[in-house]
Structure 1
Amino acid sequence: MKSCLRLLLLSLALLAAGCHRDLDPVAFHADGRPPHLSDWHVVEVRGGKLVLNQGVVPYDLNTPLFTDYAHKLRTVWMPKGVSAKYDPTDTFDFPVGTIISKTFYYPRSGTGKFSDVARTYDSSHDFAGEGLDLANVHLIETRILVHRESGWAAIPYVWKDDQSDAELARTGAVIPLTLVADNADREDFNYVVPDESQCSSCHAQDWVTRKIHPIGPKARHLNRDYHYATGEENQLAHLMKAGYLAGAPEPGQAPRNANWMDEQASLDARARAYLDINCGHCHNPKGAANTTGLTLDVSVPEDRHLGVCKPPVAAGRGTGDHLFDIVPGLPEDSILPYRMDSADPGVMMPELGRSTVHREGVALIKAWIAAQSGGCVAIH
């Protein structure tokens, strides 16, 4: 039995080594903007697959940010001998040298047209090991967040049509695509790759210092299981084991946001998690929307700070002539879902990061507001 186990472990080690044998080591660029994604050697195309380099750890969020129905592969890499410091509420304190990547892609639609992409939540055919199977997915962009001595830098790359590599896109890009639903319904839209300044505006969680930080790597977003090459494991525990995280408690003692699609969770938990990741990075006391008086991260109580019976401050025509951000029991009278349900640049929220309406997300927030009791009194 022991000899069989040793043989199995050796086979797995050889398989893992085979995945990385033709990849140069991950390259930390202390300055500048490398012209190709492959210059970082974090994720690269090999043999019809997008593979992760040695030491590159994938992760996912309990509830992800919506980006035009795109699927996302997130990774983190750190130099040897350093680790991130755990924080129960804020983004982990990542050391200089950390490289975070996020690759945006779509499952192929099956129509045979390159610009047709599937509008689906099914990711069962996306992966090849911990990487992506290019026979089944269409790569769009990869964003790099790198922690340098001067702070974090956001660098966008757009994938070439032949899917061989991604090229630097400092000024962003507009990519015409068509979402194809399971019932063959089609929706044309322009996928917008943000430029560097737009990346920075979303990632500047403190609008006073304007310093940018990662948004997703917080305990409440990462406290979930992930299917690694070695098997299913809690992400916080896995990062601790890999030496990438220090000071984290047992997963059961760490905060955890709900999965917005998990109908076993409460409606309130799902809605608050959705608003937290999609809106909370701007709508918080230090964020870009701090002057609005509307706080949408998960920590705020359900009162006027969350928008309940709160008049808008400077929404302009974004109010839709509604009087309050949230009117308990009346989603059609509330500004919040009105702005979420628009793709008009002068109305929509969030202002960046999408060109389409997240129908299921809007339905969730409307159901959450409809379930609230009470009412608002207009003051004239």
Structure 2
Amino acid sequence: MRKRLFQGAFALLVAMSLAGCQQGMAPVAYHADGRPPKLSDWHVVEARGGKLLLNQGVVPYDLNTPLFTDYAHKLRTIWMPKGAAAKYDATDTFDFPVGTVISKTFYYPKTPDGKTSDVARTYDSSHDFAGEGLDLAKVHLVETRILVHRPDGWAAMPYVWNDTQTEAELARTGAVLPLTLVADDKSREDFNYVVPDESQCSSCHAQDWVSRKIHPIGPKARHLNRDYHYADGEQNQLEHLTKAGYLTGAPATAQAPRNANWMDEHAALDARARAYLDINCGHCHNAKGAANTTGLTLEASAPEDRHLGICKPPVAAGRGTGDHLFDIVPGQPDDSIIAYRMASADPGEMMPELGRSTVHREGVALIKAWIAAQQGGCVTVR
């Protein structure tokens, strides 16, 4: 059931290629410099008539396994100038042309009582959409992040939605929004949703920690190689982007890499766990990323040895080790640093360090199950 809910959630969001004309939106605006004060200055997504609508030429997309952000749901979009297209890459982020605008809107389903600070902790997105957009009667918008490719590189801008859900305003210094997660069993968890400031955006999106230049994280072949239900029917996203003129050089989808859906219980446990670590940790834990000095590599291509943390002692993790000796101890998740740090919400211990204030219980359970299934052991030298 959970698999079906996850896979079907964004399938209910149709492509809004005609919405701009129908709703009278101005064309998408590419801002080559500056920081527009309002999200509507971009004309990518706009709140109109009780819905959050996508403009003409704005293509929605989803990931096989998404990044966890305090149980928030996300609406992702790509727009490119007419005649421009991204170049396919089998491993890294696609080479997007100057002028590309990528948006990601974070939102939560509303709870039945309709209290603004209460948001639903659920994976079910099937009721979030109505017709051609997010139904604002059913969801609470939190923030929309814009990534724009300018001549001097990518720029990141966070916008926070106002209380009336009519506009999102630039928040260069970020924001802290007190919310309460309400589960299906009515249990409650208070937390602070943290909107990152621009420098924090850079800390995750800088693929090369030497140059510090930022890039998108999600638009890679292995994340996008999946089906999506567009207005004209279901289609593989790589094929759809190619058909739309937004992607060149993509192979047949069977030849493109594809990460597992972390919630797909029919997929191999190893594939699910590796996909989860890849999207949540791999953008920092790689040879060029912010965590490259740790010796821990969590991208999908990392070999299953010490690079992946198996029997690897920590490097300068401080109290984040929880007094454990190795990142991963095969068969012993409770003795493994990775599981310990994922299960913590303490800023001095938790991993990832940014992007969440809560513990992803289901994600921790997945990684613990993966570690528990591993064979072997670690030798301790004293």
Please confirm whether the aligned pair reaches a TM-score higher than 0.5, indicating the same fold. yes
Instruction: Give the gaps of 5 or more residues in structure 2.
Output: 1-13
Q: Is contact 2:16-2:55 (8 Å) kept?
A: no
Quote the residue 1:216 is aligned against.
218
What is the alpha-carbon distance in structure 2 between the residues aligned to residue 175 and residue 38 of structure 1?
21
2:62 maps to a residue whose letter is D
Quote the residue 1:39 is aligned against.
41
Quote the residue 1:268 is aligned against.
270
SS in 2 for 1:122: coil
1:103-159 Cα deviation digits (max 9, x unpaired): 000000112211100000000011234521101100000000000001000000000
What is the alpha-carbon distance in structure 1 between the residues aligned to residue 126 and residue 69 of structure 2?
19
Say yes or no: does 1:289 pair with 2:291.
yes
**Per-residue deviation at 1:21?**
3.9
Q: Is contact 1:59-1:226 (8 Å) kept?
A: yes
CA change 1:111–1:79 in 2 (3 A) is same
Q: Which has the larger radius of gyration?
A: 1
Aligned match for 1:227, one of 226, 229, 232: 229
Quote the residue 1:89 is aligned against.
91
What is the alpha-carbon distance in structure 2 between the residues aligned to residue 146 and residue 123 of structure 1?
27
1:26-82 Cα deviation digits (max 9, x unpaired): 000000000000000000011100000000000000000000000000000000011
What is the alpha-carbon distance in structure 2 between the residues aligned to residue 227 and residue 114 of structure 1?
30
Counterpart mapping for 1:117-156 below 5 A: 117-156=119-158
Runs of 4+ in 1 over 6 A off after TM superposition: 12-15
SS in 2 for 1:187: strand
Identify the range of structure 1 (12-21 vs 262-271) with the bigger mean alpha-carbon deviation: 12-21
**Per-residue deviation at 1:310?**
0.2
Number of residue pairs aligned between Structure 1 and Structure 2: 369
SS in 2 for 1:76: strand
CA change 1:316–1:130 in 2 (3 A) is farther
TM-score by length of 2: 0.95
**Per-residue deviation at 1:19?**
5.6
Say yes or no: does 1:104 pair with 2:101.
no
SS in 2 for 1:127: coil
Quote the residue 2:67 is aligned against.
65
Quote the residue 1:374 is aligned against.
376
Counterpart mapping for 1:133-282 below 5 A: 133-282=135-284
Q: C-alpha root-mean-square deviation of aligned residues, in Å?
A: 1.5
Q: Is contact 2:273-2:366 (8 Å) kept?
A: yes
**Per-residue deviation at 1:228?**
1.1
Q: Is contact 1:84-1:92 (8 Å) kept?
A: yes
SS in 2 for 1:51: strand
Q: Is contact 1:19-1:51 (8 Å) kept?
A: no
Q: Is contact 2:260-2:275 (8 Å) kept?
A: yes
1:327-371 Cα deviation digits (max 9, x unpaired): 000000000000000000000000000000000000000000000
Quote the residue 2:18 is aligned against.
16
What is the alpha-carbon distance in structure 1 between the residues aligned to residue 200 and residue 262 of structure 2?
26
CA change 1:99–1:15 in 2 (3 A) is closer
SS in 2 for 1:217: coil
Q: Is contact 2:159-2:168 (8 Å) kept?
A: yes
Percent identity reads 83
1:309 maps to a residue whose letter is C
What is the alpha-carbon distance in structure 1 between the residues aligned to residue 29 and residue 155 of structure 2?
15
TM-score by length of 1: 0.95
Instruction: Give the gaps of 5 or more residues in structure 1.
Output: 1-11
